[in-house]
Amino acid sequence: MPIEVEARFRADDALPLEALAATPRLGPGTLGPARTVDETDRYLDTEDGRLATALWACRLRSREGLTRISLKGPPRAGATPAWLHRRPEVEGPATDEIAPASWPASEALELLQTLSGGRALVERLRVRQRRTERPVALDEGPPIGTLTLDNVRLAAGDIDLGELFVVELEVDPASALDDVELADLAGALATVPGLVAEPCTKLERAMHRLRGRE
């Protein structure tokens, strides 16, 4: 199963994101042109929380007229820097309807049916974000990943859970980026005023805020 690898940081406001949208470099890396898109993510689970119990997250993402399903598993065990996120991820095509039986066949759909036991899914959380993306390259080589700058709004049903400002360096699984090079790039992010390492996912942040309202 593919492994998602990324460095994640957060900020209290949009200023660090604006700075990263304009700078030409990130430590040893060169940043390409910025592109901004709007995304809506819906996090799904069964009524009895089968996916959460299994430590998996199910995300239905709508972007530029397309919808995809992503299943993200528990992080790999072992001590890691707070910014490092490494976990299994599998994706596939879907539709806007929360009706897995109508989605095209895929490895992601098969895993979802296994995790859910075939039970109906409901929306637990919604994440709306304006995402600015910049390709990252080392020296004169091809891109090794994407720097994403996310202005996020969280909601659970009618409950507004506030904003998040998140920076992620998503490693291209086809690249030859090694752990030392990733640490150098993450170290450069750590020097950006206003950024701190983010050990939590957006889903985890939203759930923390939701529990704080109960």
Query: 83: domain range?
Result: 3-213
State how far the alpha carbon of 82 is from the alpha carbons of 87, 88, 161, 185, 198, in Å.
14, 18, 23, 14, 6
Rounded CA gap, 5 and 1, in Å?
13
pLDDT on residue 199: 94
β-bridge partners, 167: 9, 149
pLDDT at 77: 72
- Closest by CA to 151, choosing from 187, 127, 169, is 127
Domain total of the chain: 1
List Cα–Cα distances, 1 to 48, 64, 87, 105, in angstroms. 26, 27, 10, 17
Q: Residue 64: left if φ>0, alpha if ψ -120 to 50, beta else—which one?
A: left
Q: Taking the CB of residue 183, how many other CB atoms lie within 10 A of it?
A: 15
Which residue in this structure is represented by tokens 């939203």?
206
CA distances, 118 to each of 44, 46, 121 (Å) = 13, 9, 9
- Assessment of whether the complete model's pTM goes beyond 0.75: yes
Query: Residue 59: what pLDDT?
Result: 98
**pLDDT by residue, tens only, the chain of 214 residues:** 899 999 999 999 999 999 999 999 999 999 999 999 999 999 999 999 999 999 999 999 999 999 999 999 998 776 589 999 999 999 999 999 999 999 999 999 999 999 999 999 999 999 999 999 999 999 878 999 999 999 999 999 999 999 999 999 999 999 989 999 999 999 999 999 999 999 999 999 999 999 887 5
Confidence at residue 1, expressed as pLDDT on a 0 to 100 scale: 83
Distance of CA 66 to the CA centre of its chain: 17
- Burial class of 145 by CB neighbour count within 10 A (0 to 12, 13 to 18, 19+): buried
Phi, psi of 153 (to 5 degrees): -125, 130
**CATH value at residue 42:** 2.40.320.10
